[in-house]
Structure 1
């Protein structure tokens, strides 16, 4: 168990070093298979990272040789449904679905996929902002080969990342692919397996220390809101945010460090 402030984590690890929070799935004996406990702890850790001024980026990875093998099959119980159709109540709340809440986290989220990722875990992974995968690691959607369907919003997000045909291929075939093919599809960027996590943490740290954390948060919000906006709405939001940015501390620092030819010291304000 790990205590962090008032929170006790049983199935994840959480640490913050040099502006980067690292959340580690910590069930290595089960290839970090997903559980309700793990989900609750991940949400708590992301809330803690969001509230922490000393955290500017979030890296999520797995302990041992895997990222996450998907939902723990030992916990699954076949469900009988009497629903006649899909209940669309509340479906307009696009950033408060099972994993879409990740899109609303105002700090960049890096998925450091160090080993196998499958099923439910892949649904989680596609909602990260950046996905890095260790050379040789494998992924699969799994669902169709278990008699299941594309769940947890993956049918919405995956085509936006890799296109409709490629998404249908991965979802309907449930075939296993390696990191290099995933990279060719545009789903991940591949890095050497050696020092993989440290490399991803370094990439995250460089991003949030050389660019304004305030700018990153606003740009992330602009990008994901654009999926639900017209061009006119996106332009109107950009005009509003540009006016706000021009009076911010980070804008003043952005100009100052450029003129003075020195490293920036952004505050995120």
Structure 2
């Protein structure tokens, strides 16, 4: 395991980059430098042709308990300095080519909730608590969650969670579509890494990148525009090397060797 910064750790396993928020004594509460280091780690993993999936998690008992309270108590200027640059906001992971899977191992609040929702797929430990928290701190729906949450779980459910700032557990989060899978707390990271490793071993990086871009772009497009784009992408993929490799691998009963992204 090597440090990207002391507050953000990166290791590699089976073509998966595992990025860990590393302030366990503070439940990985976010600081300004930590948010920049995390964004840098994501970009570096996305640019590495050997990395085909990314898992993000927290050290110790928490995923990310929000912004550091010590900073919040220092006043508006300190709080403004905590906000990441525009290119480093929590939803930046949605713009990466590489799938990002969150392994939510402990409490999530505020900006931590935004980082969780900024991933593509979310695993959570049974009983893990999570909250948007903004309304209970006199804040607004931060980091684009007023755009993202309604698109992921529907406007009514998003409104209720944002208005109330109440705490929900992983089981409820799974029922309403906030998380995709709930597992035993001591298994959440391994389950997420296994899922990511399966993507890395069995799915074409070109397909993963294209599908991810399609899904997020199509949230804002008409059905006709989405179909027109899909037909172009389909035509290109029919003659691409990855389909030929997938078919050859199936015929020869071996794992596929897909072309990495560059």
TM-score by length of 2: 0.90
Instruction: Note if 1:186 corresponds to 2:177.
Output: yes
Q: CA deviation at 1:49?
A: 0.5
Instruction: Label 1:100 to 1:222 Cα distance change in 2 as closer, same or farther (>3 A).
Output: same
Q: Once the 2 structures are TM-superposed, how far is the Cα of residue 9 of structure 1 from its aligned partner?
A: 1.0
Structure 1: gaps of 5 or more residues:
81-94
105-114 or 232-241, larger mean C-alpha shift? 232-241
Q: Pick from 61, 66, 72: which aligns with 1:70?
A: 66
The residue aligned with 2:46 is: 50
1:161 aligned residue: 152
Structure 2 residue 167 is matched with structure 1 residue 170: no
From 5, 10, 29, the counterpart of 1:33 = 29
Runs (4+) off by over 4 Å? none
User: Which protein is richer in helix relative to its size?
Assistant: 2
Counterpart secondary structure, 1:23: strand
Count of residue pairs the alignment pairs up: 251
Tell me the residue number matched to 2:220: 228
Give distance in 2, aligned partners of 1:97 and 1:40: 6
Alpha carbons 2:50, 2:260 under 8 Å: kept: no
Query: CA–CA distance in 2 between the matches of 1:131 and 1:137?
Result: 12
Deviation per residue, 1:164-207 (Å, 9 max, x gap): 12111111111111110111111112111123211110011012
Indicate the structure whose relative CO is greater, using CA pairs within 8 Å and at least 6 residues apart.
2
Q: How far apart are the structure 2 equivalents of 1:203 and 1:224? A: 21
- Once residues 250 and 231 of structure 1 are traced to their aligned partners in structure 2, the CA distance between those partners, rounded to angstroms, is 27
1:216 corresponds to which residue? 208
Match of 2:130 among 139, 142, 145: 139
SS at match of 1:195: helix
CA RMSD in angstroms comes to 1.8
Unmatched 5+ stretches in structure 2: 78-85
Instruction: Identify if the C-alpha distance between structure 1 residues 234 and 97 changes in structure 2 by more than 3 Å, giving closer, same or farther.
Output: farther
Offset from partner CA, 1:212-250 (integer Å, 9 cap, x none): 111111000000010121222211211221222123221
Q: Which of the numbers 125, 150, 167 marks the counterpart of 2:141?
A: 150
Contact 2:101 2:121 in 1 (8 A): yes
* Matched position secondary structure for 1:267: coil
Indicate if the aligned counterparts of 1:22 and 1:59 stay in contact, CA closer than 8 A: yes
Counterpart in the other structure of 1:85: none
Q: Which is worse superposed, 160-169 or 102-111?
A: 160-169
Partner of 2:82: none
